[in-house]
Amino acid sequence: MRYPAQVFGITVSGPSRMSFCHTADRLRTGLMAFLLLILAACGQPAQVEIRALNRAIGPEPETLDPQLARTTQSHTVLRDLFEGLLTYSPDGKLVAGAAERWTVSDDGLTYSFWLRPEARWSNGETVVAQDFVYSFRRLVDPKTTAFYAETLVNVRNAAAIIAGDRPTESLGVTATDRFQLTIRLRQPTAYFASLLAQAATYPVNEKSVTALGETFARPGNLVSNGAYKLARWELGLIIALDRNEHYWNNAGTAIDTVRYHVTPVPSAELFRYRAGELDISSTVPTEAFAQMRAERPEELRVATFLSTYYYGFNLNHEELGSNPKLRQALSMAVDREALTEKVIGRGEQPAYSWVPPGVDNYEARQLSYAQMSAAEREATAKRLYAEAGYNEANPLHIELRYNTSETHQRIALAVQSMWRDVLGFDAVLINEEFKVLVANMRAMEITQIFRSSWNGDYNDAYAFLSIFESDNPSNMFGYRSEEYDSLLQRAAIQPNAERRRLYLEEAERVLLADHAVMPLYYYVSKHLVRSGIRGWQDNVLDYHYSQHLSFDPAR
Amino acid sequence: MQQRGALRFALTRLLSAMPTLFLIIVLAFMMMHAAPGGPFDEERAMPPETAANIARAYHLDEPLPQQFMRYFGALVQGDLGPSYRYPGYSVAELISGAMFLSLTLGALAMLCALVVGIAAGVVAALRKHTLIDRLVTGLAMMGISVPLFVIVPIFVLVFAVNLGWLPASWSGTDSRIRYLLPVIALALPQIAYVARLTRGSMIEIMNSDFIRTARAQGLDTLTIVRRHALRPALLPLLSYLGPAIAAVLTGSVVVEQILGIPGLGQLFVRGALNRDYTLVLGIVIFYATLVIALNLIVDIVYGFLDPRIRNR
């Protein structure tokens, strides 16, 4: 008894070994009971529901208030809920929406719209011209704090209203009749009509906004005029829409219920698609693209998209700003074909212009070396790099900033090695969180070369070219060119579409000749769309209204 | 006398938690505002007039100390402020909407971890150095070292995509089976810790004098474990509960992101990425209060169980 080990040994090997088995048995029984308990809790089978369209949305939309919405995710849902004066057809053409027809005066300054008398809000009320007057005033009202207030900046007095210098009532938008709306502009704006299909210019119901204040856009409150109405919004999870029976073209809507699932992590979204929980994905992650192309070729939809992926130069940086030859050498040393085919490989097209293809009424200018062979390009890049005063003994020291993402990292590493191979210097790669990078880009103090992308809010070259204007707040390049500014200003006031186009094209030529930016590739939109879904058409805007989709009855 | 002592102990701990909480609020506030980029910065820059309108509306144009005073003033009145990211929603509303789910998942995971972990630990201790013991220790080591962002996607791939047994996400089904994956994922690392802790202290206790005495009296192992060994062996677990709850909360950030669960963890990540100052601060305050409160409870319970601590 004094020898514990012995005692212990005896008990374990002796009769109580049996009782230990009891212990194990009991523990096992307890465990089983516990698991059964969990299973019992889980036991209820899922209810069989009417077939709903399950769409992935990406990160969660921040609001369903059309005037406050800022992100593409919000805009996607709003396109189903609301309808602007104009809207888009499944193939991305601008067509009549809440207005059945419209005219533009010869000087391009006055737009007249005739609303559909049969258009209704989801509460059954008639949609009238005054609704649009109210909503447009709300958009430019400083009190609304709308991110996209500038959408209407070319409407008469809008700029002064946004700046707080004039009352909202002075906005150049008037209801000349119950169903007739007149908009007066301060200068011709070729793309103005397309702005009236944007979420920021969707109408909101005045009575509901006035009565409910900022909670008007919530489930149970939101009154909308589109093909769908808001059924519920479980934050962080799902936004569910039901058919709006009062919609003027309700007969044209095939699917009764649409559910937008919040999918912040692309790889997790793909799992959900593959598990059958989603009908349409919001994207396809780079690392899984090849696999999806092999396994589900008929479900993979890749299409040109109005967006350019680029590396920008901060021209305030001394070496970059003072040395166009260096910028050209850096740009030429990048093998864009290798980048798009080998590094990313999702059908992206190499970019040799700033404005992407697919923009209406526009022929993008090309970088001077677009047609050169790879060997020619490398040789010229080397020569320019040397002429700019750099060589092996005196290599360039430069930082390349990009925001955290696997794709951006792969591209940055590839570009870094191309620069090393062709020009013989090592760029310093700096990886920053998105908001940090944006803040740095905007400050233009520590950035040198930075990654970013630009997508057009509307289908017009001006949507791309405007950010290089000297005073544009999105000009994060420090690019200042009088010639460029004056070309864009002349284009801006030019009512003749053909002449305007020439000004814009010339402006792009100037921009590219200055090597103020390195376009790398044009984005593509990437979705997985289950083959039982009809009506999906690829388009450059990547807009896919649920009202245009239907289920194949055979499936 | 003893009760008054306990009360005083609880009150002292409660009061000493206040400065901690305040410090956390100040630090979180400063860190949020020190991070570059604001809640309204996107790739597309706003015209200065619009930017000024927004800054004014959210008081972002005021100096930081003034913003802090404004925030703190509202906070002591119980107002966590409006969310910057979700217009029309208050922070309190967002947190209370997400809180229940996260706490339920956390509690279930802790329960699961305690039941399975203690059982596994006891078995391993009693069959020290056998195959079962090595298995439990090995699995526990794996549970501790393999991160959740590796385990969860593998689970989803196997059980949801390939086998189709479980939903791949929270919105994949309305059935309660959706609790299974997140609870197991959250519980796994904790099961591992609990099992190791239990095993260690169980072995120690089983070697102690009073157990030897019990054995000498001819009691069988089951009775010894149940009557004498288990309770003292579990005492170290109690002090582990505080850190465990904190770990489950941190783990939920990962699990909720991957499984698309609309809980506090997901809200926190989005809030931080979006620079939703008030939302992040609100969640930090909530988490801090929760952890402090739970630790306090553990301390008090511990104090009751072990008077030496209370009197220190």
Of B206, B203, B233, the C-alpha closest to B219 is: B206
pLDDT given at position A13: 34
Apex A373 CA angle, A372 and A377, nearest 5: 70
Residues of B in contact with A26 (CB under 8 A): 222
Q: Are B102 and B95 in contact (CB under 8 A)?
A: no
* CA triple B103-B108-B112, angle to 5 deg: 150
Those of residues 41-100 in A touching chain B at CB distance below 8 A are 41-47, 59-60, 62-63, 65, 68, 70-71
Contact of B177 with chain A, judged by CB distance below 8 Å, is answered with yes
SS (H, E, C) B128-173: CCCHHHHHHHHHHHHHHHCCHHHHHHHHHHHHHHHCCCCCCCHHHC
- Cβ neighbours of residue B180 closer than 8 Å, sequence gap 6 or more: A38, A42, B166
Return d(Cα B285, Cα B80) in angstroms, integer.
10
Restricting to A residues 396-435, those with a Cβ less than 8 Å away from any Cβ of B are 433-435
CA separation for the pair A162, A149 (Å, rounded): 7
Tally C-beta pairs within 8 A across A and B.
233
| Interface check B63 vs A, CB under 8 A | no
Instruction: Name the average pLDDT for chain B.
Output: 85
Q: Given an 8 Å threshold on Cβ–Cβ distance, is B45 in contact with A474?
A: yes
> Cα angle at A480 between A475 and A485, to 5 degrees?
90
Q: Which of A473, A502, A474, A475 is nearest to A488 (CA)?
A: A502
Average pLDDT over residues B167-173: 86
Residue of A nearest to B212 (CA): A4
Cα separation, A315 vs A514, in Å, equals 11
Q: Is residue A143 within 8 angstroms of chain B, CB to CB?
A: yes
Give residue B4's pLDDT.
Answer: 67
Q: Do A268 and B153 touch (CB under 8 A)?
A: yes
pLDDT at A30: 52
Q: Are A379 and A526 in contact (CB under 8 A)?
A: no
Chain A contact present for B207, CB below 8 A? yes
Beta strands in B189-296 (DSSP E): none
Chain B positions in Cβ-Cβ contact with residue A60 (cut-off 8 Å) = 270
Q: Is the pLDDT of residue B127 over 90?
A: no
Instruction: Judge whether B191 is closer than 8 Å to chain A, CB to CB.
Output: no
B208, B231 contact by CB (below 8 A):
no
Residue B68: band (very low, low, confident or very high) from pLDDT cuts 50, 70, 90: very high
Interface test with B, best of A277, A437, A452, A469 (most B CBs within 10 A): A277
- Cα separation, A395 vs A403, in Å, equals 25
Q: What are the angstrom distances between the C-alpha of A434 and each of A404, A464, A519, B36, B136?
A: 7, 21, 19, 10, 43
Cβ within 8 Å, pair A271-B169 = yes
Rounded Cα gap, residues B40 and B53, in angstroms: 12
Residue A526, pLDDT score: 93
Residue A464's pLDDT is: 95
Contact A14, B149 (CB under 8 A): no
- pLDDT reported for residue A525: 92
User: Which residue of A lies nearest to B108 if distances are taken between CA atoms?
Assistant: A38
pLDDT value at residue A173: 97
Query: Which tens digits make up the pLDDT trace of B41-60?
Result: 777 777 788 888 888 888 88
Closest-CA residue to A500 (of A465, A455, A541): A465
Which residues lie below 8 Å from residue A123, measured CB to CB, with a gap of 6+? A205, A208, A223, A246
Q: What is the per-residue pLDDT for A48? A: 42
CB interface of B with A, residues 230-289, below 8 Å:
257-263, 266-267, 269-270, 273-275
Contact A435 B177 (CB under 8 A): no
Q: What are phi and psi of A41, to 5 degrees?
A: -65, -30
Distance, CA of A373 to chain centre: 34
Residue A287 confidence (pLDDT): 83
Q: Which residues, other chains included, contact B31 with Cβ-Cβ below 8 Å and sequence gap of 6+?
A: none
Q: What is the arithmetic mean of pLDDT over B143-147?
A: 82
Phi, psi of A527, deg, nearest 5 = -140, 155
Looking at residue B252, its pLDDT comes to 84
Check whether B35 has a pLDDT greater than 70: yes
Choose, out of B32, B41, B44, B258, the residue to mutate when testing the contact with A (most A CBs < 10 Å): B44
Mean pLDDT per segment of 10 residues, for chain A of length 555 residues?
Answer: 34 36 49 50 45 93 93 95 96 94 93 96 96 96 91 95 94 96 94 94 96 91 96 92 96 95 92 94 90 94 92 94 94 94 88 92 89 92 94 93 91 96 94 90 92 89 94 92 95 89 95 95 94 92 95 79
**What band does B307 get if pLDDT is binned at 50, 70 and 90?**
low
> How many C-beta neighbours within 10 Å does residue A181 have?
26
> Which of the pair, B295 or A296, is modelled with greater confidence?
A296
Give the tens place of pLDDT for each residue, B208-266: 888 888 888 888 888 888 888 888 888 888 878 877 887 887 778 888 888 889 988 88
